[in-house]
Amino acid sequence: MVDDIVFWGLAVVAVASGIAVFRVDSMARATYALAVSFVAVGLALLLFGLDYLGVVVVLMMVMEMAIMAIYMIMFMGMNPALMPMSMVHGKRTSLAVAGLTFAVLAAGILLVDWPERRGAPAADLTLAVGRAVMGGKMLVMMTVSAVLFATIVSALVLALPRGRYDDDPADEAAS
């Protein structure tokens, strides 16, 4: 009963803030509306008993949106109140893609038979996740994380060969 109330409450928050992402007129509000939506989804994961995954989703999404807000405003620089802007573009294509995806997923939910449960959840789900990631899939995870990190660093180096405070004669003269 309590679980049902919590689930529906979180579901409503997730969907409503998801809609708000496209309805608000500022990058900051859109970014943090998205963050709220993700936090609600992360907390809903706690209802599955997936404590670690749920809390990590909250952690990662808040961190990501905090950083993303910087980039959003950097590239779309404007003050929300003075210069409201639309948060949508490519409306027709997006609507078509979104509608189609929703239809396919909804049809899948309604038409595919739910499988019978096989096996039982592990006693300690956090430990099971850790074993799965760091055991059998360890090589993949280590490779992927190094490649991802190298990509981020090289993209930054390409975009900004000289930092704001590096090699600046004026700065060196001052210090």
Partner 1 sequence: MTGSSLTQVSAAWVPLAAVLLLAVAAAGAAFDGAVAARAEGRPWQHGAGVPVAETARLLRQRRRRTVAADRPLELVGTGGLVVVALLMVVVVPLGRWTLGDLPVGIVWFNAMDVVVWALVWLAGWGPNSAHALVGGYRFLAQALAYELPLMFAITAPAVAAGSLAVGDVVAAQEGLWFAVWMPVAFLVFCGAVLAFSVRAPFSAPAGTDLAGGVLADSSGIDRWLLLAGRWALMAAGSAFAVAVFLGGGHGPLLPAWLWSLVKTAALLAALVWVRRRLPTVRPDRLLPFGWVVVLPLVLLQLLVVAVVVVGRG
Site residues, partner 1 (CB under 8 A): 26, 28-29, 32, 35, 51-52, 55-56, 58-59, 62-63, 65-67, 69-70, 79-82, 124, 126, 164-165
Name the minimum Å distance from CB 46 to partner 1: 9
Least distance (Å) between residue 81 CB and partner 1? 4
Within 13 Å of residue 100, how many CA atoms lie on the same side as its CB?
Answer: 6
Nearer to partner 1, 6 or 126 (CB): 126
Nearest-5° Cα angle at 95, 93 to 99: 120
Classify the C-alpha dihedral 146-151-156-162 as positive or negative. positive
Q: How far apart are CA 75 and CA 69, in angstroms?
A: 10
Q: How far is the CB of 149 from partner 1 (least distance, A)?
A: 12
Question: With the CA atoms of 53, 57, 63 and 65 taken in that order, what torsion angle do they form, in degrees rounded to the nearest 10?
Answer: 170
Radius of gyration of the chain (CA): 22
Identity of the residue, 94 or 151, whose beta carbon is nearer to partner 1 in the bound complex: 151
Pick from 42, 64, 48, 61: nearest CA to 128 = 48
Identify residue 92 by its one-letter amino acid code. Answer: R
Nearer to partner 1, 78 or 95 (CB): 78
How far apart, in whole angstroms, are the C-alpha atoms of residue 130 and residue 56? 13
CB of 19 to partner 1, least distance (A): 16
CB of 13 to partner 1, least distance (A): 14
Specify the residue, 16 or 126, whose C-beta has the smaller distance to partner 1. 126
Residue (104 or 166) nearer to partner 1, CB: 166
